[in-house]
Chains A and B, each alone.
Chain A
Amino acid sequence: MSKNVKLMQGNEACVEGALAAGMRFYAGYPITPSTEVAELSSLKLPQVGGKFIQMEDEIGGMAATIGASLAGLKSMTATSGPGFSLKQENLGYACMAEVPCVIVNVQRGGPSTGLPTSPSQGDVMQAKWGTHGDHPMIALTPSSVKETFDLTVKAFNFAEKFRTPVILLLDEVVAHMRERTEIPDQSEIEVIDRKKPQKDLDTYNPYKVVDDTLVPPMAAYGEGYRFHVTGLSHDVTGFPSNDGVIAKNLLNRLMDKVNDNMDELSIYENYKMEDAEIAIVAYGSTARSAKSAVDAAREEGIKVGLFRPMTIWPFLANQVKELDNKVNNIIVAEMNLGQYSLEVERVCKSANVIHYGKINGELITPNEILSKIKEVL
């Protein structure tokens, strides 16, 4: 059988992955450098009976994405830094109301309108804490075009399984880079759909846990359940409650449904870490430079390895603790002033955590990381 091999960019792979995962709705507002995600969605969705809408603003894009998910469709929106900020209001709503959806953020230089066409990894903390209040967050970050396809499928699967918004954090390099990409056959792709309630219309509570997963089954509007959804603190029936115990228990369940599944959610790669004395921590396009730097350093006999988190949230504390036990120096390379590095520092008790950042809109090169490795030696 001939393989389905294409030359495509990250943004295109994202849409292909989303369609393979079952996306049937997209609502968004165009913003550089994420526009190809909207463009390709508008082209492809009606071909499979899905819907695309270009909303009047980013806030509306996020709102319509949630509305469509409540009506039963797997939904996605895409944006970049400034648009991501606008989506935060309703991103919090999706966390609170437990509405599965995928939010793609192709990061660009910031703050504000910043560097629209330049790469950045400046939204790592915004992905975790951009909306208000305490809440869980799942965010994935790919390093290649193929991985963008795979992680977009994962993002939809996590969203559906855990009934929560999932963020796909791209950077401009991965989004616009074109690579040879092998698209797997649909039969080889694992697709997870949200758990539906049993057909017992009178007793359906949209927020009642019915098994050991902490994730309540989710009905769609129009299926006959007539349930209520709100962004207010609510009880198992979905109706608002000011009861402090109910509020606390709800928030704890939201946190636990993610935190209790770290094994499944932890996606990462250890590269040449077996005998490493120095560890590089890098993600997205920076991880590719880091990998080259590791290879170059190894040729010079320097024992260095790479830890590459693809799950950027929840933070992979256990894996970073292993690095802490193993090496004396951890270099965190990222296109910001130390957002992920601070998290690494937080869990490292013995290793020296060194941040290498770049914020001029240029990607971090292998040579720059190699120089940093030699500085640490």
Chain B
Amino acid sequence: MSSELINKYFRMNKLPHIWCPGCGHGILMHSIVKAIDNLGLNKDDVCIVSGIGCSSRAPGYMDFNTLHTTHGRALAFATGIKLANPKLEVIVISGDGDSSAIGGNHLIHAARRNIGITTVIFNNSIYGMTGGQYSPTTPTGDKGTTAPYGNIDNNFDLCRLAEAAGATYTARSTAYHANMLIKQVENGIKNKGFSLIEAISVCPTYYGRKNKKGDSVKMMEYLRDAGINVNKAKNMSSEELADKIVIGEFNNISKPEYTDQYQNIINRLQGER
């Protein structure tokens, strides 16, 4: 089944990918493609946009309209694409640093506008491509090459951030919970407005090694054991949730979508003529 997907949706001459052995990103990339396949989207109508970093190399492998932009700016480029041609199904693949540090402003404003873009954040809790520096999602106390004594920054909850900013669909899953992720990406694409799906990945090369989390298998086992469904988590105390990853759908609401709203203005003005 997977090989069929590969033939259908990937640029075979660009594979194998450059991700490290044990990296979770391949599973996440597969989940997006599987969601697109399940929805039966036309490849010509899909545009995949990324910024810079490990995750952001994904569009190069994927046989759609693809754009690899500058660091943090994927959502701003994608906003231009979506507004210029709202028929395109625009999917942004972004890393934790890309989306929430340098690109934090674009993230909250894309959410605020509720523009019809689906953003999948490949969160490996570290800056991978530059060699293991701490990111806005590195858990407080954990180490990175620029946090040799432990990171004292508080970390972002990206789903709550996006929801507070106006995203109409937010969800989280992990590289271990791949089937859940597929469903979430499908629902995110189906949502007419801005969708954010946080996909927790594993980075054994930097985050894992720096923080003595073991190899990839060990890290995947941790994702399996730490993942707590949002419905179950509702009845748990903050102490009980301390080392857990709350997964599932957080919100899925309907609000006017940005490019629709703009088209309404155009229609109104042109109707007045």
Contacts and interface: CB of A to CB of B under 8 A. Distances in A.
The answer to whether A and B belong to the same complex is yes
Interface of A: 24-25, 27, 46-47, 49, 51, 53, 55-57, 59-61, 63-73, 75, 89-90, 93, 220-232, 239-240
Q: Rank and list the top 4 A-B pairs by shortest CB-CB distance, nearest first.
A: A67-B80, A64-B80, A63-B76, A71-B84
Interface stretch (B43-51, B194-202, B248-256): B43-51
Contacts of A55: 76, 79, 109
A239 B266 CA distance: 37
A60 B79 contact: yes
27 contacts: A46-B262, A51-B83, A51-B262, A56-B106, A59-B73, A60-B76, A63-B77, A63-B106, A64-B79, A66-B77, A67-B49, A67-B77, A67-B78, A67-B80, A67-B82, A68-B80, A71-B47, A75-B80, A221-B67, A222-B45, A223-B44, A228-B59, A228-B66, A228-B68, A229-B67, A231-B69, A239-B60
Given A63-B70, A226-B65, A71 B81 contact: yes
A231 B66 CA distance: 12
B77 A56 contact: no
A310 B64 CA distance: 42
Interface string B161-187: 000000000000000000000000000
Contact of A63 (B69, B262, B269): B69
Contact of B85 (A46, A89, A222): A222
A63 B84 contact: no
B88 interface: yes
A65 B77 CA distance: 8
A46 B259 CA distance: 12
B80 A66 contact: yes
A90 B77 CA distance: 10
A306 to B, nearest CB: 41
A236 B77 CA distance: 22
B195 to A, nearest CB: 18
Interface in B13-69: 14, 43-45, 47, 49, 59-60, 63-69
B76 A64 contact: yes
Contacts of A56: 76, 105-106, 108-109
A113 B259 CA distance: 34
B70 A93 contact: yes
Contacts, number: 135
B135 to A, nearest CB: 20
Given A60-B106, A63-B76, A67-B49, 20 more contacts: A46-B269, A56-B106, A56-B108, A56-B109, A57-B105, A59-B76, A63-B106, A67-B67, A67-B76, A68-B80, A70-B80, A72-B84, A89-B70, A221-B85, A221-B88, A222-B65, A226-B65, A230-B67, A230-B68, A231-B70
Interface of B: 14, 43-45, 47, 49, 59-60, 63-70, 73, 76-85, 87-88, 105-106, 108-109, 262, 265-266, 269-270
A239 B84 contact: no
A65 B68 contact: no
A365 B249 CA distance: 66
Contacts of B14: 239
B85 to A, nearest CB: 4
Contacts of B45: 222
Given A27-B80, A71-B88, A47 B68 contact: no
A183 B49 CA distance: 40
Nearest to A230: B68
A229 B68 contact: yes
B65 to A, nearest CB: 4
Given A221-B47, A226-B43, A230-B60, A93 B69 contact: yes
A226 B70 contact: no
Contact of A67 (B79, B265, B266): B79
A221 B69 CA distance: 15
Given A46-B269, A226-B44, A228-B60, A63 B88 contact: no
B42 to A, nearest CB: 9
A228 B81 CA distance: 14
A131 B186 CA distance: 39
B85 A71 contact: yes
B76 to A, nearest CB: 3
Given A25-B84, A67-B77, A221-B85, A49 B270 contact: yes
Contacts of B85: 71-72, 220-222
Nearest to A90: B70
Contact of B44 (A61, A68, A224): A224
A164 to B, nearest CB: 17
Which of B45, B49, B70 is the most central at the interface, judged by chain A CB atoms within 10 Å of its CB? Answer: B70
A336 to B, nearest CB: 29
A56 B113 CA distance: 11
A232 B69 contact: no
A64 B88 contact: no
B265 A46 contact: yes
B60 A68 contact: no
The interface centre, meaning the residue of B59, B68, B76, B84 with most chain A CB atoms within 10 A of its CB, is: B84
Contacts of B80: 25, 27, 53, 63-71, 75
Contacts of B68: 228-232, 240
Contacts of A229: 66-68
A221 B79 contact: no
B63 A226 contact: yes
A48 B70 CA distance: 31
A222 B83 contact: no
